[in-house]
Amino acid sequence: MLVTDQLHRTIQVPEHPQRIISLVPSQTELLYDLGLGDRVVGITKFCVHPETWFKTKPRVGGTKKVDLDKVRALKPDLIIGNKEENERKDIHLLEQEFPVWMSDVRDLEGALDMIRRVGELTGTAGKADPLAIRIAQGFEGLTPLAEERSVAYFIWREPYMVAGHGTFVNDMLGRCGLINVFDESDARYPEILPQQLAEADPDIILLSSEPYPFKEIHIQEINLICPGTPVKFVDGECFSWYGSRLLRSPAYFNGLLAGWVV
């Protein structure tokens, strides 16, 4: 059948694909929750949820470096990737040999659209559509800060990198009543210097649990740049995973924000 992905490309795929490879952790978890089981034959080394799949499914490399030979050995009839998380050159090579469906998720609406489309693509719309509804309802119960606060959301160090414009993280921050101080240019994940952080002077600084493993010592490091500014660890999966993990995000955000109300 012919389907359209979120990059507006038309792809020919089997009506019920039986050998699916997922190149994106959050979408791998979604496939599990859609009940695809043995139909998923390959994942990446970063697809840590569910743990049973992480321990047992064949891995085809990382999100940024796909092993084409391992993909070929698995003989997929569908590969599911993402514009931001996968490298263009890898996708270009893969689509020469296999059907490759790509997502492009920048906000909650895009995530819900992706979930519904993956349901249609895999013949699991009966599970995907109710899942999207439950996620949307959960976000209706999200209570943002009554008084907005400015924030910087760190994803990396050496160099420092933050979530910027047009990212899914940026949308999640906004829904929490947090104004991203680095949502000013077209850079999605800009590298910043300590001086730029000091000049931006956010009310709160967040250190994501992924992809960089921030530790207590990094709070001290950042406090030297912005003395007195609260620096907090946050669950990066709740802010950046745009599949079925979004079921958990509103409750997590509400708990997080409740602790910041003074």
DSSP letters of 200-249? H--SEEEEESSSS---HHHHHHHHHHSTT--EEEE-HHHHH--SGGGGTH
Architecture of the 2-107 domain: 3-Layer(aba) Sandwich (3.40)
Give the number of C-alpha atoms closer than 13 A to the C-alpha of residue 167, restricted to the C-beta side: 25
- Residues of the chain short of pLDDT 50, as ranges, are 262
CA 236, CA 78: separation in Å to the nearest integer? Answer: 28
pLDDT 10s digits, 114-169: 999 999 999 999 999 999 999 999 999 999 999 999 999 999 999 999 999 999 99
The whole-number pLDDT of residue 68 equals 96
Domains of the chain: which residue ranges? 2-107, 149-258
Tell how strand 78-82 and strand 149-156 pair up.
Answer: unpaired
- 149-258 shares the fold of 2-107: yes
Q: Rounded distance, CA 223 to CA 178, Å?
A: 20
Backbone angles phi, psi at 194, to 5 degrees: -50, -40
Assessment of whether the complete model's pTM goes beyond 0.85: yes
**Architecture of domain 149-258 in this structure:** 3-Layer(aba) Sandwich (3.40)
Any bridge partners for residue 191, and if so which?
A: 161
Biggest CA-to-CA distance, the chain: 58
